[in-house]
Amino acid sequence: MATAPSPPLARLLDQTADAVAAVRSGRSLTEVLARCPVELKPGTQALSFHVLRWWGGAQAVRALMAPKAPPANVDALLCSAIALLWPGSEPPYAEHTLVDQAVGAARQRTPAAANFVNAVLRRFVRERDALVAAVQPQPIAAFNHPLWWIERIKQDWPQHWQALLGAANKHPPMVLRVNARRGTAAAYVQRLAAQGRGAQAIGEQAVLLDKPLPVTELPGFAEGEVSVQDLSAQRAGPLLLGAGADRLSPPGRPKGEYLRAQPEGVPVTARARVLDACAAPGGKTAQLLELADVDLLALDSDPLRLTRVQETLNRLQLKAHLQVADAREPARWWDGRPFDAILLDAPCTASGIVRRHPDVRWLRRPDDVVALSRIQAELLDALWPLLAPGGRLLYATCSVFRLEGQQQIDAFLQRHAADKPWLDPASPGHLPGLPDNAPRPGFASETSGDGFFYALIHKP
């Protein structure tokens, strides 16, 4: 079969510059890419991801070389090209090709700017090391995150802030979750090996691929045998259900640690009533249903996102009750029967998954952290009374900010002290996305799970 010719690089650069400019004006990259012409989408996505990871440095260098900023559409193109030429960033194209094509794209956009773009880019290539060194004292250039974000990470992680910011700029690994009803990670690794693909089993259900690949090429994906889900996200199901909590525990860890990883109390039994309060797009809903025959209600306030939960369940041949609702208003949706277990995978800044969504750091504003932490507290307060005595609530966020993690839970435990809620010692707490959080000692830090926070709270 003949393969389609690749689109010209100048067109991809043009799309990338527009995509990055849209992110800077407050639109998410996912939304922007959804409107990208289909033949340009994969290339634009790859280049935009790269550019957003090096955007802080690129802007600082452009400001150094050309203190008077060119018109916004030229600036977006110029800074995108600088980011793609950044040293040590594994440039996706040879530098002369990039410069020529960026100048071609500039000529199409604003003919008068082509000479300027040409001069700036050629000087950057010539004096690259000196120019890059000159902007390193600026934190935004050195760490490629907004200053407020750097300050917050520094305050929350005084020992590890640099490693955390560095890890956020790395490429994430692709991790699969094998459907526990249909197979094991070890067996799936063998199937991949038969196709010549390298992968490693992590525990019973997780598979770490040596190289990412499109889901359409994963054996059994369409048939529901496997899903894509990060290692940290895969901890939700075993933690909440309390059974098989060892499935994802790394082998080779000391026995005591292994046992402590088991949540306390009675495991959630078949037909238990479980609420997944913020369910879409359904990764954790599906995992819960793969692990146990529970009676699950999946809520989400976003009707469009909830349709994705149904699509996922259809593919995996699983069943749940789905309802569009604001989980903070149980009077509108709750039938009055208490839940045995509640998963609250709350809306958050997504500061733990920046390596998968490099636009997030540039989209968020400092006020968002406070606003989202308020919503998380409202959700916790609204859902706690719905939990049966002896029940358990798992609070999760894909954030590394303490305000959305440990501080949120400390405040919750104080507010509800009269009910004597207790934090399970098996609660992982913050999983900061560092080498410690890699699947096994000795694994490269790039294989670590996303930044997450989990607290498992019991109701006496």
Ligand X SMILES: C[S@@+](CC[C@H](N)C(=O)[O-])C[C@H]1O[C@@H](n2cnc3c(N)ncnc32)[C@H](O)[C@@H]1O
Identify whether 398 is a catalytic site residue.
yes
- Closest approach of ligand X to the CB of residue 348, in Å: 6
CB closer to ligand X, 189 vs 240 = 240
The two three-digit tokens of residue 60, written as one number: 């600082």
Q: Is 210 annotated as a binding residue?
A: no
416: three-class secondary structure by DSSP: coil
Is residue 29 within 8 A of residue 23, CB to CB? The reply is: yes
Q: According to the annotation, is 345 in a ligand binding site?
A: yes
Going by the DSSP 8-state scheme, the letter that residue 445 receives in this structure is G
- The contact set with ligand X (CB under 6 A) reads 277-284, 299-302, 305, 326-328, 345, 347
Please check whether residue 230 is in contact with residue 175, taking contact to mean a CB–CB distance below 8 angstroms.
Answer: yes
| Cβ proximity to ligand X, 192 vs 277, nearer residue | 277
The reply, when asked if residue 283 is annotated as ligand binding, is yes
Query: Residue 225 or 345: which CB sits closer to ligand X?
Result: 345
**Shortest Cβ distance from residue 384 to ligand X (Å)?**
15
Rounded CA gap, 375 and 173, in Å?
Answer: 31
Query: Quick check: helix, strand or coil at residue 430?
Result: strand
- Nearest of 42, 48, 31 to residue 305 by alpha carbon: 31
Our CB check for ligand X shows the closer of 43 and 449 to be 449
Nearest CA-CA partner of 328 in 372, 379, 393, 387: 379
Is the separation of the CB atoms in 113 and 18 below 8 Å? no
- From the list 422, 363, 423, 429, the residue with the least C-alpha distance to 399 is 429
Distant-in-sequence contacts of 196-202, Cβ < 8 A, 24+ apart: 202/175, 202/231, 202/248, 202/250, 202/439, 202/440
Contact 322, 312 (CB under 8 A): no
Transcribe 100-143 into DSSP letters. Answer: HHHHHHHHHH-GGGHHHHHHHHHHHHHTHHHHHHHHTTSHHHHH
CA distance 272 to 341: 8
Closer residue to ligand X (CB): 57 or 282: 282
Write down the catalytic residue from 36, 79, 348, 398: 398
Has 335 been labeled as part of a binding site? no
CB within 8 Å of 1: residues ≥ 6 apart: none
- Do the annotations mark residue 326 as ligand-binding? yes
Rounded CA-CA distance 301/325 in Å is 5
For residue 265, the one-letter residue type is: G
> Based on CB atoms, which residue is closest to ligand X, 227 or 262?
227
Shortest reach from residue 227's CB to ligand X, in Å: 10
Using Cβ positions, the residue closest to ligand X within the complex turns out to be 278
Which 3 state secondary structure label does DSSP give 176?
A: strand
Residue 303 or 442 with smaller CB distance to ligand X? 303
The SS3 call for residue 391 is: strand
Residue 392, strand partner residues = 341, 458
Task: Please give the positions annotated as active site.
Answer: 398
Q: Mark the binding-site residues for S-adenosyl-L-methionine, compressed into ranges.
A: 278-284, 300, 326, 345
Q: Mark the binding-site residues, compressed into ranges.
A: 278-284, 300, 326, 345
